[in-house]
Amino acid sequence: MPELPEVETVRTRLAPALTGRRFERVEILDPRLTRPFEPVAVAAELEGERVAAVERRGKYLVVRFESGRSLLIHLRMTGSLLHAPGGTLADDPYRRAVVKLDDGSDVAYRDVRRFGTWLLTGPDQLEPYFGARLGGEPLDRAFTSRRLAERLSNRRAPVKAVLLDQRTLAGMGNIYADEALWRARVHPLRAARDLAPDEIAQLTKGIKAALRAGIARQGATLRDYSTPDGGRGRMQHEFKVYGRSDEPCDRCGTPIEKTRVAGRGTWYCPGCQRLEPL
Ligand SMILES: [Zn+2]
CB atoms within 10 A of CB 154: 8
- CA 189–ligand 1 middle distance (angstroms): 16
Active-site annotation, residues: 2-3, 59, 264
* Res 87: pLDDT: 84
* Res 224: pLDDT: 75
* Res 278: pLDDT: 65
- CA 161–ligand 1 middle distance (angstroms): 21
Per-residue pLDDT tens over the stretch 8-66: 999 999 999 999 999 999 999 999 999 999 999 999 999 999 999 999 999 999 999 99
- CA 206–ligand 1 middle distance (angstroms): 15
* Res 259: pLDDT: 97
Residues with CB under 5 A from ligand 1 (ion): 249, 251-252, 254, 269, 271-272
- CA 5–ligand 1 middle distance (angstroms): 24
CB atoms within 10 A of CB 247: 13
- CA 205–ligand 1 middle distance (angstroms): 18
Give the residue ranges of the chain where pLDDT is below 70. Answer: 277-278
